[in-house]
Amino acid sequence: MKLSLPQPSALFLHLNMASPNLSFILVAALVSFLFLADSASSLHPGSTLSIIHAQGSYPPQLSWSEYLGRISSNDASRFLYLSNLAVSTTKKATPIASGFQNLHLPNYLVKIAFGNPPQPLTLALDTSNDVAWVPCPSCSGCPPSFFFNTAKSPSFKPLRCGDPRCQQVPNPTCEGTYCFFNMSYGGANFNAALSRDTLHIAGDDFQNYVFGCLRKVISGSSLPPQGLLGLGRGPNSLTSQTQETYRSTFSYCLPSIRSRNFSGSLRLGPVGQPINIKTTPLLPNPRRPTLYYVNMTGIVVGRRRLAIPPEALTFDPATGAGTVFDSGTMFSRLVAPAYAALRQEFRRRVAVKNVTSVGGFDTCYEGPIIAPNITFLFDGMNVTLGPENTLIHSSFGNTVCLAMAASPDNVNSGLNVIAGMQQQNHRVLIDLPGQRLGVAREPCTV
Ligand SMILES: *[C@@H]1O[C@H](CO)[C@@H](O)[C@H](O)[C@H]1NC(C)=O
Ligand SMILES: *[C@@H]1O[C@H](CO)[C@@H](O)[C@H](O)[C@H]1NC(C)=O
Ligand SMILES: *[C@@H]1O[C@H](CO)[C@@H](O)[C@H](O)[C@H]1NC(C)=O
Ligand SMILES: *[C@@H]1O[C@H](CO)[C@@H](O)[C@H](O)[C@H]1NC(C)=O
Ligand SMILES: *[C@@H]1O[C@H](CO)[C@@H](O)[C@H](O)[C@H]1NC(C)=O
Ligand SMILES: *[C@@H]1O[C@H](CO)[C@@H](O)[C@H](O)[C@H]1NC(C)=O
């Protein structure tokens, strides 16, 4: 028997994004849950981080369609990033497409600390990245407001070139005896020193946690201001580095984008995870070890199963084609034939003649509509989404749009992305030892 005592030790943090015209106010709260496990259990008791997005609405100076346009173009940049990951066949830098020029906004933040004594940091959470990184002193081109002060942490150490982990980061180089790497993220390119120090997360301490210490932003300016925590499945991610404690198992619940509080939670470790949850196998892709691939086998709109050419859904490790779950994209992207079939059946069922386009969405209506449910079929798991997960509404006026889109035209990667809007108010479980991904409905909107 287990007793769980939620501890109300929430730390709230308000972070005003640097760019005033995208002034999302993101609030992250950290809550640790203490579990009194029975003595027979040697499992880590589990930890929960909760994440609150203070403001789901758009910046007042933008119209709704401008706002949707901006989100869509951010998503397009994100998509290019994911598909470059997906098609890359070597550890060399992948080409950066022009879509990367857009600002990439981190949607979710978590509060952690690095160093001894601990220095608090608010990092963007990203399930499609591995190694963490933070701005370090004398970084050129980093946001001036913030850095992790390495001089104040005696446990901080740069990694030497001979360390095997130096071969697991993108574009590693050796300068003197120390390891550096170059990476691109959301339109920016940066150079960082591979380093280690203690990570404090959800009440746990991980000594010698490996991360990048930013020393130069080579181009672009859209990096999350305090850095990023990677939760991908590849080497040096949180998932990999905390494996002995959290057993490469975590789950998250993304809150509704309609909620002003936009709250959610990240739960680390196998304890406290949903047991009766529908799951589908995770598909490892050795060519692109970061991403969480699953086998999407079909799509149902209402009761009709769509005729989608099988190759639009087939997992191909060599090309990167297939379907991934991603928390950093806002609206799902489907390869063109799959999206065309979905859109056609959706429009047929809605049966309102006047269909318009708004900011990258091509299936919008004036006034309330009765939308069919959309079911994504995965190997062993069906996920049925109602209007909350399929429609985006204007905050004023009556415009409503199907909240998905086709993959950008200029990318031919065959990648389908199941994105945040379609995951909201669901718990998504990643269980790497069990090689499975689970989805269960769970309202987590405050
Ligand atoms: C990393 O970026 C620096 C520029 O800051 C450049 O001099 C170096 O050649 C790059 N290294 C690799 C491996 O791309
Ligand atoms: C946000 O959450 C707080 C409590 O955490 C609640 O009092 C408030 O009503 C919520 N606001 C909205 C708009 O849901
Ligand atoms: C995906 O599921 C289909 C249908 O069950 C199956 O034929 C196919 O082999 C699966 N693909 C992978 C990579 O597991
Ligand atoms: C269709 O909707 C648009 C935008 O609301 C409106 O301007 C147009 O008049 C409508 N057309 C018809 C035929 O109703
Ligand atoms: C959508 O699915 C929900 C739950 O599965 C169901 O209650 C609802 O009636 C469905 N809506 C439509 C329009 O079929
Ligand atoms: C998912 O839905 C499809 C089509 O409706 C059905 O054939 C299949 O049995 C369902 N699978 C599960 C695991 O419920």
Tokens standing for residue 165: 């982990």
Q: Are 421 and 405 in contact (CB under 8 A)?
A: no
Ligand 6 binding pocket mutation candidate from 373, 382, 385 (most atoms within 8 A of CB): 382
Q: For domain 14-441, say whether CATH 2.60.40.10 is its number.
A: no
DSSP state, residue 245: H
pLDDT at 256: 74
Distance from the CA of 371 to the center of ligand 6, in angstroms? 21
Q: What is the mean pLDDT of the chain?
A: 78
b (16+ CB within 10 A) / e for 306-317: bebeeebbebee
Pairing of strands 132-140, 249-253: unpaired
DSSP state, residue 417: E
pLDDT at 371: 96
pLDDT at 216: 95
Answer yes or no: is the C-beta of 353 below 6 A from any ligand 4 atom.
no
Cα–Cα distance for residue pair 53/72, rounded to 1 Å: 19
Q: Whose CA is nearest to atom 7 of ligand 2?
A: 446
Q: Are 294 and 332 in contact (CB under 8 A)?
A: no
Q: Are 155 and 207 in contact (CB under 8 A)?
A: yes
Q: Are 230 and 266 in contact (CB under 8 A)?
A: no
| Closest listed residue to residue 256, CA positions, set 390, 431, 114 | 390
Answer yes or no: is the C-beta of 435 below 6 A from any ligand 4 atom.
no
Q: Whose CA is nearest to atom 1 of ligand 1?
A: 182
Cα–Cα distance for residue pair 180/393, rounded to 1 Å: 45
58, 239, 440 from 129: Cα distances, Å: 26, 11, 24
Q: Whose CA is nearest to atom 2 of ligand 2?
A: 446
Instruction: Find where tokens 């950066």 sit.
Output: 96
Ligand 4 binding pocket mutation candidate from 354, 366, 394, 401 (most atoms within 8 A of CB): 354
pTM: predicted TM-score of the whole model, two decimal places:
0.81
Ligand 6 pocket by Cβ (under 6 Å) = 300, 305, 377, 380-382
Q: Whose CA is nearest to atom 14 of ligand 4?
A: 354
Ligand nearest to the CA of 94: 1
Distance from the CA of 111 to the center of ligand 1, in angstroms? 31
Instruction: Find where tokens 């999407």 sit.
Output: 296
Annotate 164-212 with DSSP letters as a single string: GGGGSSSSEEEETTEEEEEEEETTEEEEEEEEEEEEEETTEEEEEEEEE
Return the bridge partners of 109, or none: 124
Cα–Cα distance for residue pair 389/256, rounded to 1 Å: 9
Q: Whose CA is nearest to atom 1 of ligand 6?
A: 382
The predicted-structure confidence for 321-369, as pLDDT tens digits, reads as follows 999 999 878 889 999 999 999 999 999 999 999 999 887 789 999 989 9
Annotated active-site positions, please? 126, 326
The predicted-structure confidence for 368-378, as pLDDT tens digits, reads as follows 999 999 999 99
Cα–Cα distance for residue pair 185/93, rounded to 1 Å: 11
First to last CA, the chain: 29
The predicted-structure confidence for 177-216, as pLDDT tens digits, reads as follows 999 999 988 778 899 999 999 999 888 899 999 999 999 9
Quick check: 395 pLDDT over 70?
Answer: no
The predicted-structure confidence for 134-145, as pLDDT tens digits, reads as follows 999 989 998 777
Higher-pLDDT residue of 34 and 66 is 66
Q: Which atom of ligand 2 is nearest to the CA of 445?
A: 14
Cα–Cα distance for residue pair 134/81, rounded to 1 Å: 20
Answer yes or no: is the C-beta of 357 below 6 A from any ligand 4 atom.
no
Letter for the amino acid at 196? R
Cα–Cα distance for residue pair 299/307, rounded to 1 Å: 9
The predicted-structure confidence for 130-184, as pLDDT tens digits, reads as follows 999 999 998 999 877 789 999 999 999 999 999 999 999 999 999 999 999 999 8
Q: Is 343 helix (H, G, I), strand (E, B) or coil?
A: helix
156, 199, 262, 367 from 387: Cα distances, Å: 49, 40, 18, 14
Q: Which atom of ligand 3 is nearest to the CA of 295?
A: 1
Peptide bond into 117 cis (omega under 30): yes
pLDDT at 239: 96
Cα–Cα distance for residue pair 442/253, rounded to 1 Å: 7
In terms of residues, how long is the chain? 446
pLDDT at 75: 66
Higher-pLDDT residue of 231 and 2 is 231
Tokens standing for residue 175: 């300068």
Cα–Cα distance for residue pair 74/59, rounded to 1 Å: 15
